[in-house]
Structure 1
Amino acid sequence: MALVDYPSSPSSDDQEGEEAEPTPTTTATFKRKHDEELPPLPSKFHDLYASTTRVSTRDDPALHEGRKRVTPHVEGNWPTHIYLEWYPSTAENRSLSSLISELKNSIRADNATVNSSLTSDLGAPLPLHVSLSRPIGFSTEVKDAFVTSLECSIKSSGVRPFNVAVADLDWVSNLEKTRWFLVLRLHEPPSNSLNKVLHISNKVVQEYGQPTLYATPPEIHVRKSKSKGSRASQSDLDIKMDWDAMQNVSDAFHVSIAWMLERPSFELMATTKSLFTDGFGNMDELSFRAEEVKAKVGNLVTSIPLPGKVFEEKALWGG
């Protein structure tokens, strides 16, 4: 393997006794490059690093800033989550970080702590999510068939890529009231696309005996798993969509950007609303393009493109 030929460094004699100071041109160039918008990392990059380091074999809130596992882990099951992913731009991330900082400053007198979801422990930007499922889990024998069924259902749904825009800022709790989340509520996109992808997700997880998200579930049909070594046919994996049964839960869709263990005070909620409408009025201009649904099973992420691009390309060329 060839070595990379790097340019030589200045000699120690040239640097001894003094440090080179940047010229005005260098400083201006650096500032200009720093202020320019960096291109987002590709979706596949985040998928490769979706795993987290497991530091304990039991649920220990002390290892997770006081958070408790809501869905108990079942030995042998693969934790699964279906979602849309949003990669805020540098400018968007900066605005959201400033908003969270303002909220942190407003509750300094309280014992409450607002924890940002925008960056990792090392300060790296993290993608944000619109959940399309609860935290669910599948056995080894079922997980691959589940993902294949989800892929088939999305590809045959006709749901095209769509834009999602932010509508409001609010605090919501989980069902157990053990955590509160600062969320960006979302407008329902044209063609009812968010409700459609949720309906697809709910239908598939329901067929595999898992609870639905937001929607009131009808009767659950549990699919029998194939024995090891046998292959499921395409008809076994296809799940028909009943669009007439789709429910409208547009008010429930959101993106979490921060969380806290304590219930927000009335003062904090009022401050949150005023920040969104007054101090951060451009928040309602935030939006992102949903082009794929992601299914994370264990540490493996499967990206399932929405089929609109294929249909549009065929129509363009008369196919």
Structure 2
Amino acid sequence: MFRDQEEEVIDDSTKHGGRLRTFPHERGNWATYVYMPYEAQEDFLDLLQLLLSHNRTYATSLTMMDEFHLSLSQNVVLRYHWINPFVQSLKEHAASFYRFFCTSDQVKVYTNQPKTRTFIGLEVTSGHSQLLELVSEIDKVMKEFDLPKFYKEPSFHISLAWCVGDMTNKLQGQCLQELQVIVNRFEDSKFLLRIHWEEIRCKSGNRVFSFPLK
């Protein structure tokens, strides 16, 4: 249906901060995930800088995320000729959903599955039911293409920053408590971290598809 236009990719971790691919690149395979984008405002970035500055007393400096989002699927692999049918199915399953708010204000530490990277994130504390409904529909699409569904008990969150390796022990406990205090005391944090979700996106390789909510 579609011609494969990818060039061979050699994974060099030195070019992206020591990060390693979750799965190796293969010609014709496109790393894909579904998410909701968050456009960071100046106040949000000010809060993030406070968190990162405080974190340096406990662990290796974290690197701020290039962009912010809330994941609605795992990272999966699509063959190139699956992309358009996959996107069309996502569009159909997302068509009935309305825009909604959620609050993301609980600081939490995460690692990826192989524990090669550690993240500081803000976990969702309200709006969880709407997110679960969205994931339920996205899981139906995954099933159509024999791809893994999302986690059974997901911790919906926005990743803020990352570092290489498993730094959980250094960031949990006292550090995490102090980061939470910073969030709680930040001016207007209750309003700042109440997020209005307006669209779903799917990124497959270098292609991004958008599905506005009603």
Structure 1 unaligned spans of 5+: 1-53, 118-125, 216-248, 308-319
Partner of 1:103: 55
- Cα gap change, 1:134/1:278 in structure 2, threshold over 3 Å: closer, same or farther? closer
How far is the alpha carbon of 1:171 from its aligned partner? 0.8
Partner of 2:127: 189
* Structure with the greater alpha carbon radius of gyration: 1
Q: How does 1:268-287 map to 2 (within 5 A)?
A: 268-269=171-172, 270-278=174-182, 280-282=184-186, 283-285=189-191, 286-287=193-194
Amino acid corresponding to residue 196 of structure 2 in structure 1 = R
- Cα gap change, 1:274/1:77 in structure 2, threshold over 3 Å: closer, same or farther? same
How far is the alpha carbon of 1:80 from its aligned partner? 1.4
Partner of 2:16: 64
1:175 paired to 2:113 = yes
* Contact 1:168–1:185, Cα closer than 8 Å, also in 2: yes
Partner of 2:3: none
Amino acid corresponding to residue 273 of structure 1 in structure 2 = Q
* One of 154, 157, 176 as aligned partner of 1:254: 157
Q: How does 1:294-309 map to 2 (within 5 A)?
A: 294-307=201-214
Q: Give the Cα separation in 2 of the matches to 1:127 and 1:260.
A: 15
* One of 82, 85, 102 as aligned partner of 1:145: 85
Structure 2 unaligned spans of 5+: 1-5
Q: Give the Cα separation in 2 of the matches to 1:183 and 1:164.
A: 15
CA deviation string 1:253-274 (max 9, x = no partner): 1111011123336453212322
* One of 116, 121, 134 as aligned partner of 2:74: 134
TM normalised by structure 1 equals 0.59
Q: Give the Cα separation in 2 of the matches to 1:301 and 1:152.
A: 17
* Contact 1:160–1:306, Cα closer than 8 Å, also in 2: yes
- Cα gap change, 1:279/1:208 in structure 2, threshold over 3 Å: closer, same or farther? closer
CA deviation string 1:178-234 (max 9, x = no partner): 1111011112317x210011111111012111111213xxxxxxxxxxxxxxxxxxx
Q: How does 1:1-319 map to 2 (within 5 A)?
A: 57-104=9-56, 106-107=57-58, 112-117=60-65, 126-155=66-95, 158-189=96-127, 192-215=129-152, 249=153, 252-264=155-167, 266=169, 268-269=171-172, 270-278=174-182, 280-282=184-186, 283-285=189-191, 286-307=193-214
Root-mean-square deviation (CA, aligned residues, Å) is: 2.2
Secondary structure of the residue aligned to 2:85 is helix
Amino acid corresponding to residue 61 of structure 1 in structure 2 = S
How far is the alpha carbon of 1:284 from its aligned partner? 4.8
Amino acid corresponding to residue 163 of structure 2 in structure 1 = M
How far is the alpha carbon of 1:162 from its aligned partner? 0.6
CA deviation string 1:41-95 (max 9, x = no partner): xxxxxxxxxxxxx9x8212111111111012222112221110011121111111
Q: Between Structure 1 and Structure 2, which shows a larger proportion of strand residues?
A: 2
CA deviation string 1:145-197 (max 9, x = no partner): 11001101111xx321111211310111111111111011112317x210011
Q: Which has the higher contact order (CA 8 A, sep 6+)?
A: 2
Q: Give the Cα separation in 1 of the matches to 2:183 and 2:106.
A: 13
TM normalised by structure 2 equals 0.86
Q: Give the Cα separation in 1 of the matches to 2:150 and 2:171.
A: 28
Percent of aligned pairs sharing the same letter = 26
